[in-house]
Amino acid sequence: MMGGFTQFVPEAALLVPVPVALLLGSRLRERWIAWLAMISCGVAGVSAWYAPTMLDQASAVTTTLDTTAGAARLAICVLAALWLAWVAARGAGAERSGEAVGLALLSTLGGLLLASATDLVVAFVAMELTVLPAYVLLGYSRHDVPVLKGVLKQMTRSALASMIALYGISFLYGLTGATSFEGIATSLPEAGPLGATGAILAVGGLLARLTLLYRCASARSGVAGSSVFTAFVASVPAFSMSVFLAQFLSQALTVRSLQTILVAGAVFCLAVGLYVIVREQEPRELLAGAGTVHIGFLMAGLAVLVAASPGSSIDAVPVQVSQLAVVAPRVDALVIYAFTYSIAALALGLLLAGTEGEGPRYGRRLAMRAAAVLLASLAGVPPLAGFAGRWLLLRSVHEAGFGWLVATGVAVSIVSAWYVVRAALSRAGSAEAQATAEEERITGSGPGGWLSEDRLSLSLAVSAVLVGGAVLWVFWF
């Protein structure tokens, strides 16, 4: 009996500071609340990592704590703790930031549940728990009418995607009589074309929702006026949804036509993302383009998780235990790729937040170089974190027999890396950057404190290199 409760220790640890943040957020200093939340994230991360060893798996009906889920939960806590460390050191730059910390904790809690869900009811509730506070956070940041309208537009689109996914889930439930991944995998082959259509609607809605989270990083979404919060939205909830999609597709869905649709979607997203990167020069737009390319790579990784042999039939096929064993390493590769992208996107979003609303301070030399390193990581330049994750993902796609998709991915990576590096170098040589450097030389090196912009930039860039090196070392050697 205790095993069932032990599983939820990380969630309980995250819940502890939430009442403090929500009820006393306007009275206490936001940084104290952020420190408290960061400590609870640390406790949650450690307990998430050790929970599988304490858990009686038989008591876990709607969630799983296998190694992949445990590592993903730890990664979610790490991402949230990094964001909270920023808020603790530099503030969120918004009114009632203490309450914003509470909302971020709720979103993280939903992400933890989502990453380990093996039942569609739990997954649906967890997904809403992680996404809805994220949109509230985006609306929290400003009182500008355009920003509020932008958040409303993104939120209604997200709700539309949620309804489409839920409509598909209703067919999956009705035709298989189950909401657990195992039950769906067992009964889906007998559900016929309607069951396969339900699966396609469900995955399509979930992917649309995930895409909208990355879309918030774009200036054209109308909500990009608050990078601190967009950085959070594009990391914690988006990573949690990526992990859930990987688990859902690998364990429950065996629909042949889904694989074809995902591959086509991957090629489309890679093309659109590359188009954005080639056309744009601004870091935030480059981040949005990199997000679209990332969705393309994610779809390629998800396509090879569908445990089905190639074919043209829309019907689902019976799942084989041997197929599950084959796709398990591919799930790991996809989760690692999603994490390496999320951590670089979070770091770049926070770096942009540090220069937000203060004119051309992107030209600050070290911050600019760190942003260039992070953008290069997002574009997949070796030996950075982004390259390591992308290499693992493309290796699993190649093993699944999609050589042409790997070639497309490599080509997109090379071209996008070239354009990203070129954009970064052109900014470095601009008159604006040189003027800012001259201003720095005269006035000093920017804001002080233990987390000064210089130290922060340097540590973010170095971590991008170190994470990439660590992943490559573990998986190559």
Partner 1 sequence: MSVGPGAFLALAAVLFAAGLYGAVARRGPLAVLMSLQMMAIAVNLNIVTFTRFVTPAEQAGKLLPVFSLTVAVLHLGLGVALVSGASRRARSVQRGSAGPAGAGER
Please, what is the minimum distance in Å from the beta carbon of residue 51 to partner 1? 25
Residue number with CB closer to partner 1 (221 or 342): 221
Q: Is residue 281 a contact partner of residue 253, using CB atoms and an 8 Å limit?
A: no
Give 50 or 173: the residue with its C-beta nearer to partner 1: 173
Shortest Å distance, C-beta 244 to partner 1: 16
Q: Tell me whether residue 39 or residue 166 sits nearer to partner 1 (CB atom).
A: 166
DSSP string, 303-331: HTTS---S-S--SB----HHHHHHHHHHH
Say which residues have a Cβ less than 8 Å from residue 23's Cβ, sequence separation at least 6: none
Nearer to partner 1 among residue 125 and residue 219 (C-beta)? 125
Q: Which is nearer to partner 1, 200 or 302 (CB)?
A: 200
Q: Write down the least CB distance from residue 124 to partner 1, Å.
A: 6
Kindly tell me which of 148 and 278 has the beta carbon lying closer to partner 1. Answer: 148
Please identify, using beta-carbon distances, which residue of 138 and 393 lies nearer to partner 1.
138
Q: How many other β-carbons are positioned within 10 Å of the β-carbon of residue 220?
A: 12
Residues for the chain: how many in total?
A: 477
Say how far apart CA 434 and CA 437 lie, in whole Å. Answer: 5
Residues that bind partner 1 (CB under 8 A): 93-95, 119-121, 124-125, 128, 132, 135-136, 139, 142-145, 148-149, 151-152, 155-156, 159-160, 162-164, 166-167, 169-171, 173-175, 177-179
Closest separation in Å from C-beta 62 to partner 1: 10
Q: In angstroms, what is the minimal distance from the CB of 304 to partner 1? A: 30
What are the two backbone dihedrals, phi and then psi, of residue 333, each rounded to the nearest 5 degrees? -60, -40
Q: How far is the CB of 132 from partner 1 (least distance, A)?
A: 6
Sequence-separated (6 or more) residues with CB below 8 Å from residue 389: 336, 337, 338, 339, 340, 341, 471
**374, 351 contact by CB (below 8 A):** yes
Angle formed at CA 463 by CA 72 and CA 130, multiple of 5 degrees: 35
Nearer to partner 1, 134 or 308 (CB): 134
420-459 burial: b if 16+ Cβ within 10 Å, else e? beebbeebeeeeebeebeeebeeeeebeeeebbbbebbbe
Q: Which is nearer to partner 1, 241 or 303 (CB)?
A: 241
Least distance CB 442 / partner 1 (angstroms): 28
Three-point CA angle 253, 258, 259, nearest 5°? 100
In the complex with partner 1, the residue whose CB is nearer, 61 or 470, is: 61
Residue 139, token pair as written in the block = 């609306």
Query: Sign of torsion, CA 269 274 277 279?
Result: negative
Q: Which two tokens stand for residue 378?
A: 């997002």
Phi and psi, residue 421, nearest 5°: -65, -40
Closest distance of CB 120 from partner 1, Å: 8
- Measure the CA–CA gap between 119 and 303, rounded to whole angstroms: 21
Q: Is 302 exposed, middle or buried (0-12, 13-18, 19+ CB in 10 A)?
A: buried
Handedness of CA 440, 446, 451, 457 (dihedral sign): negative
User: CA nearest 353: which of 464, 229, 215, 218?
Assistant: 229
Q: Which two tokens stand for residue 102?
A: 């509470």
Min separation Cβ 167 and partner 1, Å: 5
CA angle in degrees (0–180, nearest 5) for 383-389-395: 105
* Shortest reach from residue 248's CB to partner 1, in Å: 16
Nearer to partner 1, 98 or 301 (CB): 98
Neighbours of 301 (CB within 10 A): 30
Q: Considering the complex, what minimum distance in angstroms separates the CB of residue 358 from partner 1?
A: 12
Nearer to partner 1, 173 or 418 (CB): 173
Min dist CB 253 to partner 1, Å, is 18
